[in-house]
Amino acid sequence: MATGPETLARMRGITKVYSRGGQDVRVLDGLDLDVGSGELLALMGPSGSGKSTILNLLGGLDRPDAGTIEVGDTEITRLSSDELAGWRARHVGFVFQAFNLIPVLTALENVELPLLLTPLGKKQRREHAEYALELVGLKDRMDHRPKQLSGGQEQRVAIARAIATDPTMVLADEPTGDLDRASADAVLDILSRLVAEHGKTIAMVTHDPAAARRATRTLHLEKGVLVEQGTTSHA
Amino acid sequence: MRLVPFRYTLRSLVVRWSPSLFSALGIGLTVAVLGGVLALREGFKALLSDTGSDDVVVYLRPGAQSEGESIVRYPVDTNVLKTRPEVALDASGTPLAAAESYLGLKLDRTDGTGTTIVTVRGVELPASLRIQGPRWRVVEGREPTPGSDEVVVGKPLTSRIKDTTIGSTLTFNVTPFKVVGIFENDGAYSSEIWGDVDRICAALERPFRQRFVAKLKPGTDVAAIATELETDKRVPVKAQTEKAYFAAQTTALGGVLGFLAGILTSLMGAAAVLGAVNTMLAAVGARTREVGILMSVGYRRFPVFFCFLVEAAIIGLAGGLIGAVLVLPFNGLQTSTTNWNTFTEIAFAFRVTPSIIVTSIGVALVLGILGGTVPAWRASRLVPTAALRRL
């Protein structure tokens, strides 16, 4: 399949099989998917449809059983585990439903965690981390540990961590799933702003229709197959 | 390759302080036992090897490993030895040399727990005392009179052996000897009883001597003398410095203590390593999701492995410090045991040296690292997506 110049990530013929209870479950079966540069892509669908698997594969956290994944000029399906880790550090920022902050580190230190993998010096790392926290409106909470923050604040710190290294794309797995409506809206505001004002590419798995409405494109999955595509103009 | 920040490791340890502390305690107890046995061996070795003199030569029968198994003919050999060119003379021109007897006698303990074997040394008065110089000194009472049935007792014995205080009487065979003094010696003679050699040999019916000792003239080549006397037709003897002689006396008990240290450390160390493995497996289990986070952020397998290994090493190090603190109070503590080379009672003090402390901490570190290797490896092999799903 030819890809346009705006295409950032290309998944071709992706098959992923999990073994559950001794039985093989084919979560993705020959999936093709492009992610455009600068888009906020929402992946929707019932549980078990393969949404999170797509994110994990796109972010190099998991490997497909068949098919290829290219992000930019790199075919990540050819990389070794350690090469993939290095690639993740440079190109991907993850946001998880459960926030996944390191509890013993402060907000600033959590955001600094991926920056430690860059060649930046100590002062620059701190500046980058503070800037990222400022973008999510939490600079005044940077010395707080995760336990001292609300769920919404934790997720905003997680977003700051995801964007601190200025990655090629941000992958968000149910970013509003554990949040109340107000907190969820605040998080969605930030994600929308990152796309609209900073040109970030975000792929987001969600069950939340309000989140999907913020997307520039929405894909529906059912049993590992794309069944419907839609575009919105809200981002 | 970038490593996981050290503060993460350190704070994780602090958060899980309870299992970490117990694991460190297990390692600490192990190395405390190791340090204790090593301190015992060090004290024993120090008593025998660090205090002998390089300017005193000891002559034994060829092939004899200790005085107990040596015989020097008296006066045939001893008269010849006194004329040896290496023997120093005093101001009046008398050789600073002496033929001495040595016998382990069963004496009663003061605490009523039976008998123990104590060295009774017959010495030439005053030559033997002059050879020893200031290292041997009477601290209470007086020196025995030459030719008399008098003895002086090493200070550590007075609290352990019955009838060893001044004025008491010790009976050797059927001859009573009066205790007239208490002496101190910075070495192996400290747990002995000394008296006139002729009187003691007469009382014990011994027509020979066990060793010949002499003060050496400055600059004497002891090795050359040893070679010469080994093949001497008239008086074949084994010559060595007093220091070398005592160093050789540590071999049996020193070896046993070294073996004991090895066995105890191996057994307790194995238990401590299992404890550390358990703690670190629990740590990895409790922080599986955090491993997933580190990997998702871009940390590779080795930094994850290293992070947990460092954590185990810190537990080991803490254990080492605990062990050092536990063993330090033993320094200087007096104890007694049987010298397995001579089978006589010998009193000495635990010696906790800096090298023992360093060894204990080093072993603790190794135990910690051994305990952390498998859990750290397991952490580094986690699949990020599976690790992130863990609650």
Q: What is the pLDDT averaged over residues A67-85? A: 94
Give the pLDDT band of residue B215 (cuts 50, 70, 90). Answer: very high
Q: What is the pLDDT of residue A103?
A: 93
Give the pLDDT band of residue A230 (cuts 50, 70, 90). Answer: low
- Of the listed ranges A179-193, B191-205, B334-348, the least confidently predicted one is B334-348
Q: What is the pLDDT averaged over residues B200-210? A: 92
Distance, in angstroms, between B284 CA and closest chain A CA? 14
Q: What is the pLDDT of residue A223?
A: 77
DSSP code at position B289: H
Q: Give the one of A62, A82, A114 whose C-beta lies nearest to B300's C-beta.
A: A82
Interface test with B, best of A47, A61, A97 (most B CBs within 10 A): A61
Percent of residues, chain A, with pLDDT higher than 90: 75
Contact B297 A104 (CB under 8 A): no
Q: What is the pLDDT averaged over residues A111-121? A: 94
Q: Is the pLDDT of residue A1 over 60?
A: no
**Token pair of A208 as six digits:** 């939340």
Distance, in angstroms, between A127 CA and closest chain B CA? 18
Q: What is the pLDDT of residue B48?
A: 65
Q: Give the one of B12, B301, B384 whose C-beta lies nearest to A61's C-beta.
A: B384
Q: Is the pLDDT of residue A4 over 50?
A: no
Q: Is the pLDDT of residue A5 over 50?
A: no
Q: Is the pLDDT of residue A54 over 80?
A: yes
Q: Give the one of B11, B298, B383 whose C-beta lies nearest to A86's C-beta.
A: B298
Cβ-based contacts of A157 with chain B (< 8 Å): none
Give the pLDDT band of residue B199 (cuts 50, 70, 90). Answer: very high
Contact between B186 and B156 under an 8 Å Cβ cutoff? The reply is no
- Of the listed ranges A6-20, A75-89, B226-240, the least confidently predicted one is B226-240
Q: Is the pLDDT of residue A62 over 90?
A: yes
Contact B7 A114 (CB under 8 A): no
Q: What is the pLDDT of residue A3?
A: 42
Q: What is the rounded CA–CA span in Å between residue A221 and residue A224?
A: 6
DSSP code at position A78: G
pLDDT mean across residues, chain A: 90
Percent of residues, chain B, with pLDDT higher than 90: 50
Contact between A39 and A187 under an 8 Å Cβ cutoff? The reply is no
Residue A183: which residues within 8 A CB-CB, separation 6 or more?
A: A150, A151, A152, A155, A176
Residues of B with CB under 8 A from a CB of A: 2, 5, 7-8, 11-12, 14-15, 289-290, 292-302, 383-385, 388
Q: What is the pLDDT averaged over residues A11-25? A: 90
DSSP code at position B87: B
Contact B297 A90 (CB under 8 A): no
**Maximum average pLDDT range among A122-126, B279-283, B340-344:** A122-126
Cβ-based contacts of B2 with chain A (< 8 Å): 116-117
Give the pLDDT band of residue A228 (cuts 50, 70, 90). Answer: low
Q: What is the pLDDT averaged over residues B96-108? A: 93
> What ipTM, to 2 d.p.?
0.90
Q: Which of A156, A3, A172 is nearest to A92 (CA)?
A: A172
Domain limits, chain B: 6-49+251-389, 56-217
Q: Which of B193, B119, B112 is nearest to B160 (CA)?
A: B112
Q: What is the rounded CA–CA span in Å between residue A94 and residue A172?
A: 6
Contact A100 B296 (CB under 8 A): yes
Q: What is the pLDDT averaged over residues B160-169? A: 94
Q: What is the rounded CA–CA span in Å between residue A117 and residue A85?
A: 10
pLDDT mean across residues, chain B: 88
Q: Which of A97, A2, A1, A16 is nearest to A54 (CA)?
A: A16
Q: Domain spanning A39-60+88-230: which CATH class is it, in words?
A: alpha beta
Q: What is the rounded CA–CA span in Å between residue B206 and residue B201?
A: 5
CA atoms within 13 Å, Cβ hemisphere of B12: 26
Tens digit of pLDDT for each residue in A199-223? Answer: 999 999 999 999 989 999 999 998 7
CA dihedral B194, B199, B202, B207 (to 10 degrees): 70
Q: What is the rounded CA–CA span in Å between residue A32 and residue A226?
A: 9
Q: Is the pLDDT of residue A235 over 50?
A: no
Cα dihedral B321, B326, B329, B335 sign:
negative
Q: What is the rounded CA–CA span in Å between residue A107 and residue A161?
A: 9
